[in-house]
Amino acid sequence: MISSGPLDFDPPQVDGVEDPAIDPEGWIPLELLRTGIDVVVPLWKEPATDPGERDILTVNFEQPGQTPVKIQNIYRPEDMRPEFRIHIGPEHLLNDGVGELWYDLLDTADNPSKSQRRNLTIDRTPVAVDLEGAKFLNTDIWGYYHCQTTPPIWEGIHIHVPPLTLFRTGDRCEVTWRGYSSLNGSGPEIVGARWGNVRNSLTDKDIREGYPLLVEPYDVHIEPMERESSATVIYRMFRGSRLVGTSEVALVKIDRILPGQEMPCGP
């Protein structure tokens, strides 16, 4: 089919990289830097359909200091499919920095069309590990939550994520709380007690001061830990889809049994 004229396409997607609306910088995960990336191009409007017609698709990636990448494929009617995946090998992803990705299309009548450009960011900075752990507030001097804790733990458990000065505004922080029937965070996790919080875009204040969180509701995330139990909190830092930091595991002990009592305290 002969196209009625030039078209303008959305930026291409890349498997394993967030869409530009979510991550404008397009951070490429480290594992993809080792294996290469797959660029996803959906089938365009008015593709070649008649014998003898052809469409020419060219995927482009340009980055300062790197030889420009141009991968061209010719598609005839029998080659058409709902989407195409074009591989850019790791040899083209060697330099840290920001590059631009887009594609061009030339139809049978040689009408040129193109997609919008999107950023892809390459950064091999090592993942920061053993970051300062989250703090549990209102524990006793032995690191316990118990029946005398104030405010009572059935109102929720307060934790504080420390300052995140190694990171940037817009980075994402994912916090995970896990419960255990041991005092040292070992053994099988009480899976039903797991709790999480995601702060999708850190502010300058978050980075300078950290921020508070409240683990709740009690009956789901705290009540399952009764006698000589514990919980851990770990947070992970992401830049786009790329992991850039992990914290130490913070541990708190939980015991809701009063001396001489069999039943745990709580509502």
Per-residue pLDDT at 239: 87
DSSP 149-188: -SS-GGG-EEEEEPP-TTS-TT-EEEEEEEEESSTTS-SS
- What is the CATH topology of the domain spanning 128-254? Immunoglobulin-like (2.60.40)
Helix or strand (DSSP H, E) at 145: strand 144-145
Per-residue pLDDT at 106: 95
Per-residue pLDDT at 6: 59
Question: Which pTM does this prediction carry?
Answer: 0.73
Per-residue pLDDT at 7: 63
Q: What is the mean pLDDT of each run of 10 residues along the chain (267 residues)?
A: 63 94 89 95 93 96 94 96 97 95 94 95 91 98 96 97 95 97 96 97 97 98 97 94 92 94 89
**Positions of CATH 2.60.40.10 in the chain:** 8-122, 128-254
Choosing among 1.10.10.10, 3.30.70.100, 2.60.40.420, 2.60.40.10, the CATH entry for 8-122 is 2.60.40.10
Per-residue pLDDT at 1: 43
